[in-house]
Copies of this chain bind each other. A is one copy, B any other.
Amino acid sequence: MEERTRPLGRPRSEDARLAVLRAVDDMLVEEGYAAMTMKGIAERAKVGRQTVYRWWSSKAEILLEASAADAVRELTVPPSESAEGDVVAFLAALSGFLTESDAGLAYRALLGEAQHDAKVAELLRGTDVLGDAARVLIAQVQDRGGLVGFAGAARETLVAELVGPTLFRTLVEGRPVEPAAIADMSQRFLATSR
């Protein structure tokens, strides 16, 4: 059996890669997505412009790589004592993620850009951050015995039912969902399934 041989030439610099990701992370928070430019990223990272373009084709792509892991981590909630506790914790995490976290800021910027840039939409569809997190939570709740008796089309809408209301509030209003509303949403979500 053969080892895969290294590509020819000087290998990619991990230093440069990390410097770019870090620069994007910092600039998003400090200056905002709109003010970020490929030129600015390169300068901030002390990296050649060509080096950025060689490995990423847009600031959206860099941002996705820089924030995807954080997003997944922030949306993973430890099991609580009850199904309702799990859902409440998840929705609270989701609300916080979308309105107060750096990774969530990145996600909102990307989801926003996806609405008028097909390339970014495509990119984002490759990593359904919110959907994946929701599916994990739903499976967790089902294992406890909640959410029994779903079938067919109903199951497919569960993710939307769980995530949608919070997404609406945060995207449209731009601020966290208050705890009372989260409690209400959680009850509604579980009510239809019991």
Measured CB to CB, the residues of A under 8 A from B are: 32-34, 108-109, 111-117, 121, 124-125, 128, 130-131, 152-154, 156-157, 159-161, 163-169, 171-174, 178, 180-181, 183-185, 188, 191-192
A181 close to B157 (CB less than 8 A): yes
Partner among B112, B156, B192 whose Cβ is within 8 Å of the Cβ of A115: B112
A113 close to B111 (CB less than 8 A): no
Task: List 7 tightest A-B contacts by C-beta distance, closest first.
Answer: A112-B115, A164-B164, A164-B165, A33-B116, A164-B168, A112-B112, A153-B180
Partner among B116, B166, B174, B191 whose Cβ is within 8 Å of the Cβ of A34: B116
With A191-B192, A192-B191 in contact, is A185–B172 under 8 Å at CB? no
